[in-house]
Chains A and B, each alone.
Chain A
Amino acid sequence: MKLTVPHMGLLSMAYTKVLREHGVQMHPPPRPTKKTLNLGVRHSPEYACLPFKINLGNMIEALEEGVDSILMPGGYGPCRFGYYGVIQAEILKGLGYRFQMARTDNPDSLSDMIKTIKDISDIETKWDAYRVFYLILIRMAAFDKLEALYFKTKPREINNGETDRAFREGLKIIEDATSYTSLLRAWLKVKRIFRDVKTDKRARPLRIGILGEIFVVIEPFANMDVERRLARMGVEVVRGVWLSDWLNDRFRFKPFRPNQNKMAKKWAYPYLRYPSGGESIESVGKTIKFYKEGIDGVIHIMPFTCMPELVASTILHRISSDLNYPVLSLTFDEHVSEANLQTRLEAFVDLLERRRKKGGL
Chain B
Amino acid sequence: MRIGIPKGLLFYKFGELWQARLRAAGLEVVTSPSTNPEILEAGLKHSVCDLCLPVKVFFGHVHALKDDVDALFIPRGVRTEPDSYLCPKFIGLPDMVRAAIRRLPPVIDTEYNVKERSDEDFWKEVFAQIGHKIQKTEEINSPYPFCKDKKEDSEETERQARAFSVGVAGRPYLVYDNYLNKGIIRHIRRLGIEVVFQTPSAEYIRETMDTLPKWIYWSMAKEVVASVRWMIESEEVDGIILLVNAGCGPDSFMTELIERTMDIQKKPYMSINIDEHTSDVGLQTRVEAFIDMIDRRMKTKAL
A interface list, Cβ under 8 A from B: 45-49, 74, 76-80, 82-83, 85-87, 89-91, 94, 103, 105, 271-278, 280, 304-308, 310-315, 317-319, 329, 331
Q: Do residues A83 and B253 form an inter-chain contact, with CB atoms below 8 A? A: yes
**How far in angstroms is the closest Cβ of chain B from A75?**
8
Contact B92 A272 (CB under 8 A): yes
Interface centre among B85, B109, B249, B256 (most CB of A within 10 A): B249
Flag if A276 contacts B89 (CB, 8 Å).
yes
Closest to A311 in B: B92
For B100, what are the chain A residues with a Cβ–Cβ distance below 8 Å?
314, 317-318
Return A24 CB to nearest CB of chain B, in Å: 25
B289–chain A nearest beta-carbon distance, Å? 21
If A83-B216, A310-B48, A315-B95 touch, does A276 touch B252 (CB 8 Å cutoff)? no
A47-B252, A310-B48, A314-B96 are known contacts; what are 7 more A-B pairs with Cβ within 8 Å?
Answer: A48-B253, A77-B84, A87-B257, A274-B91, A280-B88, A313-B50, A315-B96
Query: Chain B 8-51 against A: per-residue CB contact (8 Å), 1 yes, 0 no?
Result: 00000000000000000000000000000000000000011011
In the assembled complex, which residues on chain B have CB atoms less than 8 Å from the CB atom of A86? 212-214, 257
Q: B263-285: contact bitstring with A at CB < 8 Å (1 yes, 0 no)?
A: 00000000001000000000000
CB neighbours of B47 from chain A (8 A): 314
User: Are B217 and A78 neighbours in the complex by a CB distance under 8 Å?
Assistant: yes
How far, in whole Å, are A245 and B249 apart by their CA atoms in the complex? Answer: 26
A307 touches which one: B76, B98, B249, B261 (CB < 8 A)? B249
Interface string of B96-122 (1 = CB under 8 A from A): 101110000000010100000000000
List chain B residues, Cβ under 8 A from A80.
249-250, 252-253
B92-A276 in contact (CB<8A): yes
Is B255's beta carbon under 8 Å from chain A?
Answer: yes
Residues B261 and A90 in contact, CB atoms below 8 Å apart: yes
Q: Report whether A280 and B92 are in contact in the complex, using a CB–CB cutoff of 8 Å.
A: yes
B99, A90: Cβ atoms closer than 8 Å = no
Determine whether B147 belongs to the interface, using a CB cutoff of 8 Å to chain A: no
A45 to B256: give the CA distance in the assembly, Å: 6
CB of B231 to closest CB in A, whole Å: 21
Q: Known contacts A274-B76, A274-B78, A317-B48: does B253 contact A87 (CB below 8 Å)? A: yes
**Inter-subunit contact A90/B213 (CB<8 Å):** yes
Are A274 and B256 neighbours in the complex by a CB distance under 8 Å?
A: no
Q: Are B252 and A46 in contact (CB under 8 A)?
A: yes
The answer to whether A329 and B95 have CB atoms under 8 Å apart is no
Task: Name the A residues within 8 Å of B50 (CB-CB).
Answer: 304-305, 310, 313, 331
**How long is the Cα–Cα vector from A329 to B47 in the complex, in angstroms?**
14
Report yes or no: A48 in contact with B48, Cβ–Cβ below 8 A: no
**A47-B248, A273-B109 are known contacts. Are A78 and B87 too (CB-CB below 8 A)?**
yes
CB neighbours (8 Å) of A90 from chain B are: 213, 256-257, 260-261
Nearest residue in A to B49 (C-beta to C-beta)? A331
Residues of A within 8 A of B256 (CB): 45, 48, 87, 90-91
When the two chains form the complex, which single residue of A74, A91, A304, A307 contacts B89, counting CB atoms closer than 8 Å?
A307
CB <8 Å contact, B88 and A317: no
Contact of B217 among A45, A77, A275 (CB under 8 A): A77
B246 at the A/B interface (Cβ < 8 Å)?
A: yes
Name the residue of chain B whose CB is nearest to the CB of A329.
B48
Q: State whether the Cβ of B173 lies closer than 8 Å to any Cβ in chain A.
A: no
- Partner pick for A273 among B88, B95, B217, B253, CB 8 A cutoff: B95
Q: How far is the CB of B258 from chain A (nearest CB, A)?
A: 11
Nearest A residue to B83 via CB reads A76
For B48, what are the chain A residues with a Cβ–Cβ distance below 8 Å? 310, 313-314, 317, 329
A89 touches B89 (CB 8 A): no
- Interchain CA distance A273-B92 in the complex, whole Å: 8
Give Cα A85 to B212, complex, Å: 13
Most chain B CB within 10 A, of A91, A274, A276, is at: A276
| Bound-state Cα–Cα, A280 to B217, Å | 19
Cβ B88 vs Cβ A314 within 8 A: no
Contact across chains for A83 and B214 when beta carbons are under 8 A apart: yes
21 pairs from A and B in contact (CB 8 Å cutoff): A47-B252, A77-B217, A77-B218, A78-B86, A83-B214, A85-B214, A86-B257, A87-B256, A87-B260, A90-B260, A90-B261, A273-B95, A274-B78, A274-B111, A276-B91, A277-B88, A311-B88, A311-B92, A314-B48, A314-B96, A318-B100
Alpha-carbon gap, A273 to B74, bound state (A): 14
Q: Does A47 contact B88, Cβ atoms closer than 8 Å? A: no
Residue B247 at the chain A interface, CB threshold 8 Å: yes
| CA A229 to CA B292, docked complex, whole Å | 55
Distance from A80 Cβ to chain B, minimum over Cβ atoms (Å): 5
